Amino acid sequence: MYAERASRLPGAVVWTRTMENPVSTPVHPVLPDGCMDLLWNEGRLLVAGPDTRAYVPGTEPAHWAGLRFAPGTAPTYLGVPAHELRDRRVDLTDLWPATTVRRLHARLAAAPDPATALEDLALRRATETPPPDPLLRHLVAALDTGRPVATTADELGLGARQLHRRSLAAFGYGPKTLARVLRLQRALALARAGVPFAQTAARSGYADQAHLARDVKEFAGMPLGELLGRTG
């Protein structure tokens, strides 16, 4: 069972996932979304880096708690460039001092609600670090409306190389990949709402349904109908 709620940390989401009976519980792939997550699982603190392809969770019985940072913000809070964690899940001890992580482990292990404890950890971290670059928020907002990367760069007053460098550090990949990831998420939201695939493609910025199908297959590793459990 999966559940989520808006976090007190702006733009973030607090979530939980419980697998009590993996034989009868379908496992859904986690698709690229431009985000990074702080995770708690079976006494481990982990960071999920930005994905460029679908990540399929394990099927063993487990309870996960997580905080999904808004796109581009996690590197500021975690102190590591996103591209160093691209397509990776790493222990927080690989990023922070072991003594610091041990204290956090103890706090989370004793917490009645690990998800809220993760949220509290992130909120405290936000008071200790500079705020995320507001330019990146504008970049995400512009690309999420389907604006071209070059046009967006001009509007933000950035050259192509500078935009690419800042995107790698914040999102784990360049702005063109970020634009494709955001477009995929727009399409999935429409398709999950029951919009026919051809209309989904047109409304989310694809050239046609075949273009949408190629992108879904590349990112998700399966056709859109299979991903959603329906045929059209």
Domain extents in the chain: 2-128, 134-228
pLDDT, average across residues 137-148: 95
- pTM (two decimals): 0.92
Q: CATH topology for 134-228?
A: Arc Repressor Mutant, subunit A (1.10.10)
Check pLDDT > 60 for residue 231. Answer: no
pLDDT at 224: 94
Q: Encoding tokens for residue 172?
A: 């784990």
Q: Is 103 exposed, middle or buried (0-12, 13-18, 19+ CB in 10 A)?
A: exposed
HEC string for 64-87: EEEEECCCCCHHHHHCCCHHHHCC
Rounded to whole angstroms, the Cα distance separating 181 from 186 reads 9
CATH number of 2-128: 2.60.120
Q: What is the pLDDT of residues 56-85, one digit of tens each?
A: 887 666 899 999 999 999 999 999 999 999
pLDDT, average across residues 121-130: 96
The band of 21, judged by pLDDT with boundaries at 50, 70 and 90, is: low
Average pLDDT across the chain, whole number: 93
pLDDT at 215: 96
pLDDT at 18: 87
pLDDT at 232: 39
CB atoms within 10 A of CB 226: 13
The band of 121, judged by pLDDT with boundaries at 50, 70 and 90, is: very high
